[in-house]
Amino acid sequence: MKVNLKPLIRGTLKLEEFYLNEAGREGFLSDMGGRFLTPIKVHLIMENTGKKLAGRARVSTILALNCGRCLEEFEYPLLFELILAAAEISAYEDNGEMLLIEDEQADIMPRVEEEIFSLIPLNPLCRQDCRGLCPSCGINKNQQSCTCEENDLDPRWQKLKELKMK
């Protein structure tokens, strides 16, 4: 996801807008069992402040993740902002916000990927109250119900239940 910063670096433009639309890198999310459902869209505004190049990007995409409880795939839309500062490759400092400029171009994808990665929950849930899979029969309890739990109930609880029924 490269942007040409030549006009900004050379001062022919003070501000430039970029609309980028690029497919997410295949394999980037596969460790987590996720994938991109839509391309990554970026609206980037870069500015030459006189001292440096500064940028602000709005990024959106839709991921598919697998629920940590029921294992079903679900949509996970992302929308976030990134603050970017661009530095010449010689002046690069690893402060996490810098972009490398090479041949008057900067690749913003590493920063975008880094942010996407940090926004994915460790244990993603299709919904907060996902009921997960039954540990005995394996059905998805969001879709069906089973009687395993009642049968596995501790006999003491069963007694209590019977008492309550009376």
Q: How far apart are CA 119 and CA 111, in angstroms?
A: 13
The continuous run of DSSP H or E covering 6 comes out as helix 6-9
Stretch of 94-102, 116-124, 129-137, 152-160 lying at the interface with Zn ion (CB under 5 A): 129-137
Residue 88 Cβ vs Zn ion, minimum distance, rounded to whole Å: 47
Q: Which of 20, 82, 108, 126 binds Zn ion (CB under 5 A)?
A: 126
65 binds Zn ion (CB under 5 A): no
70 binds Zn ion (CB under 5 A): yes
Q: What is residue 112's three-state secondary structure?
A: helix
4 binds Zn ion (CB under 5 A): no
Closer to Zn ion at the Cβ: 69 or 111? Answer: 69
133 binds Zn ion (CB under 5 A): no
134 binds Zn ion (CB under 5 A): yes
Distances (CA, A) of 56 to 31, 112, 133, 134: 29, 12, 42, 46
Could you tell me how many residues make up the chain? 166
Closest CA to 140 of 74, 73, 72: 72
Please report, as ranges, the residues that interact with Zn ion according to CB under 5 A.
Answer: 67, 69-70, 126, 130, 134, 136-137, 146, 148
